[in-house]
Amino acid sequence: MRRKRSIIRIKGYTISSPSIVILMILSILVLSVLFVITETIRRQMLEYNQRIMRTYGKLLQLTISRSVETPELSILFDELILKSNFPLVYADANGQPIYWRNLSVPDNDTSAAAREKVRKWIKRHSRRFPPIPVRIPETNKAIAYLYYGESPMVNWLRLTPWLVAAIIAFMFFVGAMIYGKIRRYEQQNIWLSLAKEAAHQLGTPTSSLLGWLQLMRDELENGANPTELKKIVSEMERDITNLSRIVVRFGQIGSTPELVATDPVELIKDVVGYLKQRIPQLRKNIELIEHYDPVPNVNANKLLLSWALENLIKNSVEAIGPKGGTIWVATRRSLDGNEVHLIVSDTGKGIPASIQKEIFSPGFSTKKRGWGMGLSLARRIVEDYHHGRLFLLESKPYEKTTFIIALPVKKRRAKKKKVT
């Protein structure tokens, strides 16, 4: 039996465990790329800040040496310094602040308390951002220092990856909660669908038994015909046998069934023969046409595979309207010869294209009976237990809707040659 993957289904969309792992890997990649980008921008802005401070320091040196006139320096000062948004402090050779900008301390506050706060700021940032010295050109002696720090934008950039990580973690937390609720809802839905499917399965033989009982009463009232009574009793025994088969089928769900070499034609004839006698009781004016090409044996569990076939045929019966229609049942071999196809086709109302991907989902239903669990169970029987495929080939409303069960051909063991 194939190993089932854990999945989440939300309105027809399926999210499997590998998909969740891929989403987590993508989230980590996004965070990594975002961190690299923000770190690169941060370093570039720091280099920009350093260039401005070096430029400012050189301008001060030129002013001291009188190489640049004061009006020219004022223009450069206004353009480079006053319009900068990063914190800076102009301090004397002893580290005492003289002028500062873009700090939490107001520029015009020259009190001792304000200067003390600026000195603490210098102490915190001088190790990380070495100050730019302002030197006398002739003696190369530092007479002042320019201290600077990161702009608010750089600080925000530093926090951006962590904010994104927190958002993603929160989304995963919410997703985990939603996943848990969906799983609980799905489990409840599966139990409800199994109950509906059990009622659906028991409906055919039960209705048939009631019909045969009525026929038996009529025979007894009109003078019992032994031959007719024997026929009725035989059909009733067949319905009772089918009831016991249904019980065994449900008992095999979740276990590993035994597969044996099976003739697909004989199996499908048995299913069709049983339903053919009972279709008039389910829906009138239905013609059931059979066409069987010779096909090789397949490995199958007759009880389970016949269940899948019954579901497909019953769904076809329910899809046909009151005016009646036709159901075709056929077998054929695939073009490559590796598969046997069991085909069920009808002229019912069809399946809209918008929901064709959802019809195999547990609990999905467009009517009160059928579709809710039948197709899901049928696919599980075919794909998980028989290693085959069940798919909708085509659907044209009131023209043709075709389902195909594709089963691998039973491989013959090569005969060992005798050594002479």
Q: Show contacts of 7-11: CB within 8 Å, 24+ apart.
A: 8/179, 8/182, 8/183, 9/182, 9/186, 9/361, 9/362, 10/182
Q: Which amino acid is at 67?
A: S
Q: 259 near 382, Cβ under 8 Å?
A: no
5 pLDDT band, cuts 50/70/90, is very low
pLDDT in tens, 197-246: 665 566 667 777 777 777 787 777 777 777 777 787 887 877 777 776 66
Where are the chain's structural domains?
Answer: 19-149, 259-408
294 pLDDT band, cuts 50/70/90, is very high
pLDDT in tens, 305-315: 988 898 899 88
Average pLDDT, integer, range 47-64: 71
Pairing of strands 339-346, 400-408: antiparallel
Q: 46 near 63, Cβ under 8 Å?
A: no
Ranges 3-17, 61-75, 284-298: which has the least confidence: 3-17
Residue 321 to residues 200, 374, 394, 398, Cα–Cα distance (Å): 18, 20, 19, 9
Residues 279 and 276: their CA atoms lie apart, in Å, by 5
CATH fold of 19-149, please?
Answer: Beta-Lactamase (3.30.450)
291 pLDDT band, cuts 50/70/90, is very high
Which pLDDT does position 4 carry in this prediction? Answer: 42
In this predicted structure, the answer to whether residue 411 has a pLDDT above a threshold of 80 is: no
Q: 225 near 263, Cβ under 8 Å?
A: no
Our measurement of the distance from residue 352's CA atom to the centroid of its chain's CA atoms, rounded to an integer in Å, reads: 22
Superfamily of domain 259-408: Histidine kinase-like ATPase, C-terminal domain (3.30.565.10)
The answer to pTM > 0.85 is no
Q: What mean pLDDT is reported for the chain?
A: 76
